[in-house]
């Protein structure tokens, strides 16, 4: 029998204020307070818990385009980190009843316990059109009675996401190892168990648990190091491959990560694999540059690929590599985002180095992109020969 919980509370007024002066009113849910951040939107029809706990959303107020939020509650198995990283949540409607056989808490109670504010009753279709026209913009959600004028002053004093190094704020402080897989029976994707697992060092710029699980599933023994790890610390672990993770903020501001990537690129035939922010950092280390997208790519159905081959992908990023700056003699753009032709993946022409802008570990329905982990494992296997 499915578990069911009811979200019952007396409605409290809430307000959303954007830096351009737009004020939207609604009802509060989650914690009481005020949260400031960059207002973005996610078009996924499911996966709200994964989104909220993804460290890549640090510093952001996330608008969910799916009209009802919280209908399946919260469970520990679906979390990408120990706690939510979003600063605030914007929804059309909060489900009055949450029901799912794996549910352990309601969205409302979970957000309260982690001090995350939310606003519902907002016309999210109109808000998303506003963001698409004007771009992602700083804003504030308040459920504690702060006036819109006060909020506007606070929002306009905030720094832009461009130039912010947020990776350090979400990264682990101490190294650790990871050997866990996705819960048995729930994930039917490939699991490879070599007699001698590949020694992989993962640099944590905001790494998702699902990425760690897929690395293990493809035969890796993973040691996770902080975002400010040095080349000497990485090489001391004698890795057979190095993985650069996803994360929040402006990739060009992650100076320590770029410096590390430059050092790793110079290591003879060492396989390197980057996802999202890690992909961008690799591109920067190889001579490219990045730019801020108007409103970013955040959703579960972005088509990416090359001629004749398309992958339906999960994405979450507000910056992208500039294809025109990538050195053509060294780097090949292997995949494009087929919506706007931005760089979705690249490979080095001479070295075992590649990056993927989207999230091959995610499973928005299809598992089209999981093969990228297999490619990383194959590069490490070739190195052993």
pLDDT band of residue 70 (cuts 50, 70, 90) is very high
Per residue in 164-178, pLDDT (tens digit) is: 999 999 999 999 999
- pLDDT tens for 204-249 read 999 999 999 999 999 999 999 999 999 999 999 999 999 999 999 9
Q: How confident is the model at residue 119 (pLDDT cuts 50, 70, 90)?
A: very high
Q: Give the model confidence (pLDDT) of 268-325 as tens digits.
A: 899 999 999 999 999 999 999 999 999 999 999 999 998 788 999 999 999 999 999 9
Query: Any residues with CB less than 8 A from the CB of 130 and at least 6 apart, and which?
Result: 18, 22
Q: Which residues contact 63 (CB under 8 A, 6 or more apart)?
A: 39, 40, 41, 42, 90, 91, 122, 124, 127, 128, 131
Q: Does domain 4-156 have CATH number 3.90.230.10?
A: no
Q: Among the listed ranges 36-50, 128-142, 227-241, 300-314, which one has the minimum average pLDDT value?
A: 300-314
Task: List active site positions.
Answer: 276, 359, 361
Q: Where are the domains of the chain?
A: 4-156, 167-384
User: Which of 66, 34, 32, 37 has the alpha carbon at shortest distance from 49?
Assistant: 66
Residue 191 has what pLDDT? 73
Overall CATH class of domain 167-384: alpha beta
Residue 331, pLDDT > 80, answer yes
Question: Averaged over 359-366, what is the pLDDT?
Answer: 80
User: What local confidence, expressed as pLDDT, does residue 306 receive?
Assistant: 84
167-384 matches 4-156 in CATH topology = no
Cβ atoms within 10 Å of 293's Cβ, excluding its own? 16
259 CB contacts (<8 Å, ≥6 apart)? none
Q: What is the pLDDT of residue 283?
A: 98
**In the predicted structure, residue 13 carries a pLDDT above the cut 70:** yes
pLDDT > 90 in the chain, percent: 89
What gap in Å lies between CA 305 and CA 313, rounded to an integer?
A: 10
Task: Report the pLDDT value the prediction gives residue 11, as an integer from 0 to 100.
Answer: 74
- Distance, in Å, from the CA atom of 224 to the CA atom of 108, rounded to the nearest integer, reads 32
Note the pTM of the prediction, 2 decimals. Answer: 0.94
Mean pLDDT over each residue of the chain, to the nearest integer: 94
* Percentage of the chain lying above the pLDDT 70 cut: 95
- In this predicted structure, the answer to whether residue 1 has a pLDDT above a threshold of 50 is no
């Amino acid at each position: 029998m499915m578990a069911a919980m009811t979200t019952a509370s007396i409605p409290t007024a809430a307000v959303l204020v954007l830096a351009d002066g737009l004020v939207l009113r609604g009802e509060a849910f989650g914690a009481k307070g005020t949260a400031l951040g960059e207002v973005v939107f996610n078009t996924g029809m499911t996966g709200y818990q994964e989104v909220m706990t993804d460290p890549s959303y640090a510093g952001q107020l996330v608008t969910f385009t799916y009209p009802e939020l919280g209908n399946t509650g919260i469970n520990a198995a679906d979390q990408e980190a120990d706690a939510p990283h979003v600063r605030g949540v914007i929804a059309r409607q909060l489900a009055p009843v949450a029901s799912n056989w794996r549910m352990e808490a309601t969205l409302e109670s979970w957000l309260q316990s982690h001090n995350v504010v939310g606003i519902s009753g907002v016309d999210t279709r109109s808000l998303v059109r506003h963001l698409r026209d004007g771009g992602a913009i700083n804003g504030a959600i308040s459920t504690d009675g702060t006036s819109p004028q006060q909020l506007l002053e606070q929002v306009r004093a905030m720094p832009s996401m461009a130039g912010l190094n947020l990776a350090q704020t979400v990264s682990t402080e101490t190294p650790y190892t990871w050997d866990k897989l996705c819960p048995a029976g729930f994930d039917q994707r490939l699991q490879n168990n070599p007699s001698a697992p590949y020694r992989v060092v993962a640099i944590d710029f905001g790494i998702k648990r699902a990425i760690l699980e897929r690395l293990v599933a493809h035969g890796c023994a993973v040691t996770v190091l902080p975002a400010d790890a040095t080349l000497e610390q990485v090489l001391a672990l004698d890795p057979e491959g190095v993985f650069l993770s996803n994360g929040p903020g402006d990739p060009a501001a992650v100076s320590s990560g770029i410096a590390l990537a430059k050092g790793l690129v110079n290591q003879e035939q060492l396989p390197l694999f980057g996802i999202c922010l890690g992909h961008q950092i690799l591109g920067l280390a190889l001579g490219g540059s990045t730019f801020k997208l108007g409103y970013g790519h955040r959703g579960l159905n972005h088509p990416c690929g090359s001629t004749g081959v398309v992958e339906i992908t999960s994405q979450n990023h507000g910056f992208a590599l500039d294809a025109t700056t990538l050195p053509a003699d060294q780097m090949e753009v292997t995949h494009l985002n087929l919506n706007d032709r931005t760089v979705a993946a690249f490979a080095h022409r001479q070295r075992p180095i590649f990056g993927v802008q989207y999230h091959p570990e995610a499973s928005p329905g299809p598992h089209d992109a999981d093969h990228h982990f297999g490619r990383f494992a194959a590069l490490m296997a070739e190195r052993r020969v």
